[in-house]
Amino acid sequence: TGETYSHNFQAEVAKLLHLMVHSVYSDRDVFLRELISNAADALDKLRYEAIAKPELLAGAPDLAITITPDKAAKTLTVADNGIGMSEQELIDNLGTIAKSGTQAFMEQAKDDKDKGGIHLIGQFGVGFYSSFMVAHKVEVTSRKAGTDEAFAWSSDGTGTFTVASVKPEAAPLRGTSIVLHLKEDALEFLEDWKIEEVVRAYSDHIAHPIRLAAGTETTRQINAASAIWTRAKTDITPDQYKEFFGHITGAYSDPALTLHYKAEGRNEYTVLLFVPGEKPFDLYDPERRGRQKLYVRRVFITSDAELLPPYLRFVRGVIDSEDMPLNISREMLQHNPQVAAIRKAVTNKVLAELKKCFETEPEKAAKIWDAFGPVIKEGLYEDMERRDQLFEIARFNTTKREGVTLKDYIADLKANQTAIYYLTAEDAAKAKASPQLEGFRARGIEVLLLTDAVDSFWVRMALGFDGKPFKSVTQGAADLDLIPLVEEAPKSDADEGATATLIALIKQTLGDQVGDVRKSARLTDSPVCLVASDQGLDRTLEKLLARQGT
């Protein structure tokens, strides 16, 4: 003990800190929300651990967050008596960013800074480092619950930080204390009114008490500290929902959709879920994890219970069960029938709510579909049971219209048209320019333009919709002959004999490189196009697989 060790920040963190230290963000008061949010998480974690080990609460059973301004020292301290951090956790948690997409985030944050916004920071979970927007030095003292040792982390936000052990008499009983040495231009955060204003704006409804130490002896609670989902819908304002949405997701924007209800009957639970207004960074993480929080009677259990299927991972919020056992281990959750029942019911409810929104609020629908449509479409091949429900939500761009449903498409079928035609392509411009479409245009047939990577997968597995199979315009002869032309085709002056000679010549020249060469009704302007055989892979899928070396 007594030794102080110096560590380098991970390169990304060093860059991020540089951004923070030199920040010109106008709304930098969000640092307080980030620290409070971390403190609340730490209290939640302790309360969960204490179910199995009540002795962890010894000495301080009352869980709270305390904010202490010290005008003489120009410091602001945010303390919690939560789970705390070990020496190694201090080094890992406050020296690195483990999340994927860090690089992409950094690039966007740079742009974002120029625009004067800051909403990316909390969203990406770099919350702690935002302290350096207001502090020229930050000291963190922490004692992990159930241990005797405490450690102090310290940094001025340049390339390095130090960690040293703390004498027992200087250590907190349990939990973490963060001392911010405020910059000269941030001294307003020492004022009671300012602290209260920020707490009320961003942290009023986190479920733990936040206390302001006023003077040396007295503290008073400055937040409502009620679990917002337990309150009646009619008592909650949109701003209060937004505040809680921010606490859950780190976002500073409005949720696109809020779903708040209580389920009664065999399983009793409360649901407060949000569809975000913007794409989160980790939407395409290979892990595809949802992070809905499971509570049991107001006690946080885990964010890993997979309460919704992966294709709804962007939906965030809380599900609080009244009747599950409190001491359920996280491992047991996977096979718990109550969790399975909740997952099933809530999934259906979310889809029903999306459908309702899509039918009544087209603008909002377009925004939600634009952000999350490609993810929802994963459900089309993963969740056979709900495929039809998903098809009712799914929106498509076609050769004729934007944002139509399959129902809309079916309503516009041409005489003798027996299939739903689609074209997969990398983007809309490429799709529209495809010569494959000519014969369809000439017959007034609408074609779905599928431009998301996921489309090539579901469209081959979906059996069809409303009795009509999906059929690629690039696959084989597309039964076009049966469907009348809208306009009379210009009379072909090529004679049959010459065409046959030309086809023979092409076949001879290309040899094994093609399966067949045929005369076709599908082209009107272009002389030739490549198509896959009826049994063959769709062209876009073929290219996709070739790229991946499969």
Q: Which residues bind ligand ADP (CB under 6 A)?
A: 34, 38-39, 42, 80, 82-83, 85, 93-94, 125-128, 176
Residue placing its CB nearer to ligand ADP in the complex, 138 or 541 = 138
Residue placing its CB nearer to ligand ADP in the complex, 69 or 280 = 280
CB of 272 to Mg ion, least distance (A): 20
CB of 361 to ligand ADP, least distance (A): 31
Give the helix/strand (H/E) hosting 180: strand 175-182
DSSP string, 213-227: EETTTEEEE-S----
CB of 85 to ligand ADP, least distance (A): 5
Q: What is the DSSP letter of 448?
A: E
Task: Decide: is 246 part of the binding site for Mg ion (CB under 5 A).
Answer: no
Report 301-330 residues binding Mg ion (CB under 5 A).
none
Residue placing its CB nearer to ligand ADP in the complex, 156 or 452 = 156
Neighbouring CB atoms inside 10 A of 192's CB total 14
Residue placing its CB nearer to Mg ion in the complex, 38 or 123 = 38
CB of 37 to Mg ion, least distance (A): 5
Can you point out the beta strands (E) in 451-514? 470-472
Q: How far apart are CA 259 and CA 248, in angstroms?
A: 14
Residue 375 contacts by C-beta under 8 Å, 6 or more apart in sequence?
A: 283, 311, 312, 313, 314
Residue placing its CB nearer to ligand ADP in the complex, 313 or 343 = 313
CB of 99 to ligand ADP, least distance (A): 8
DSSP string, 141-178: EEE-TT-S-EEEEEE-SSSEEEEEEE-GGGS-SSEEEE
CB of 530 to Mg ion, least distance (A): 52
Binding segment for Mg ion (CB under 5 A), chosen from 124-132, 369-377, 492-500, 501-509, is 124-132
| DSSP-derived 3-state class of residue 313 | coil
Which residue of this chain has its Cβ atom nearest to ligand ADP in the complex?
Answer: 125
Q: What is the DSSP letter of 17?
A: H
Residue placing its CB nearer to ligand ADP in the complex, 94 or 199 = 94
- Are 342 and 296 in contact by the 8 Å Cβ rule? The answer is no
Name which of Mg ion, ligand ADP, none residue 176 binds, using a CB cut-off of 5 to 8 Å depending on partner kind.
ligand ADP
CB of 340 to ligand ADP, least distance (A): 29
CB of 112 to Mg ion, least distance (A): 18
Taking CB under 5 A as the criterion, the residue among 84, 127, 246, 317 binding Mg ion is: 127
Q: The tokens of 180 are what?
A: 């911010």
Residue placing its CB nearer to ligand ADP in the complex, 195 or 445 = 195
Dihedral of alpha carbons 298, 302, 303, 308, sign:
negative
Q: Per this entry, what is the length of the chain?
A: 550
Residue placing its CB nearer to Mg ion in the complex, 37 or 474 = 37
Which residue of this chain has its Cβ atom nearest to Mg ion in the complex?
Answer: 127
Name which of ligand ADP, Mg ion, none residue 42 binds, using a CB cut-off of 5 to 8 Å depending on partner kind.
ligand ADP
CB of 526 to ligand ADP, least distance (A): 53
CB of 147 to ligand ADP, least distance (A): 13
Residue placing its CB nearer to ligand ADP in the complex, 91 or 503 = 91
Q: How many residues bind Mg ion (CB under 5 A)?
A: 2
Q: How far apart are CA 119 and CA 128, in angstroms?
A: 14
Residue placing its CB nearer to Mg ion in the complex, 127 or 276 = 127
Residue placing its CB nearer to Mg ion in the complex, 106 or 257 = 106
CB of 42 to ligand ADP, least distance (A): 3
Name which of ligand ADP, Mg ion, none residue 472 binds, using a CB cut-off of 5 to 8 Å depending on partner kind.
none
Q: How far apart are CA 229 and CA 322, in angstroms?
A: 13
Give the per-residue SS3 of 342-404.
HHHHHHHHHHHHHHHHHHHCHHHHHHHHHHHHHHHCCHHHHCHHHHHHHHHHCCEEECCCCCE
- Are 120 and 112 in contact by the 8 Å Cβ rule? The answer is yes
CB of 45 to ligand ADP, least distance (A): 7
Closest CA to 374 of 443, 468, 297, 288: 288
Name which of ligand ADP, Mg ion, none residue 83 binds, using a CB cut-off of 5 to 8 Å depending on partner kind.
ligand ADP
Q: What is the DSSP letter of 76?
A: E
Residue placing its CB nearer to Mg ion in the complex, 127 or 317 = 127
For the chain, the first-to-last Cα distance in angstroms comes to 56
Binding segment for Mg ion (CB under 5 A), chosen from 80-88, 127-135, 460-468, 515-523, is 127-135
Q: Are strands 135-143 and 175-182 parallel, antiparallel or unpaired?
A: antiparallel
Name which of Mg ion, ligand ADP, none residue 93 binds, using a CB cut-off of 5 to 8 Å depending on partner kind.
ligand ADP
Binding segment for Mg ion (CB under 5 A), chosen from 32-40, 96-104, 194-202, 208-216, is 32-40
CB of 17 to ligand ADP, least distance (A): 12
Residue 215 contacts by C-beta under 8 Å, 6 or more apart in sequence?
A: none
Q: How far apart are CA 470 and CA 422, in angstroms?
A: 7
Q: How far apart are CA 333 and CA 345, in angstroms?
A: 16
| DSSP-derived 3-state class of residue 306 | coil
Residue placing its CB nearer to Mg ion in the complex, 127 or 379 = 127
Name which of ligand ADP, Mg ion, none residue 417 binds, using a CB cut-off of 5 to 8 Å depending on partner kind.
none
Task: Decide: is 82 part of the binding site for Mg ion (CB under 5 A).
Answer: no
Task: Decide: is 38 part of the binding site for Mg ion (CB under 5 A).
Answer: yes
| DSSP-derived 3-state class of residue 510 | helix
Site for Mg ion, rule CB under 5 A: 38, 127
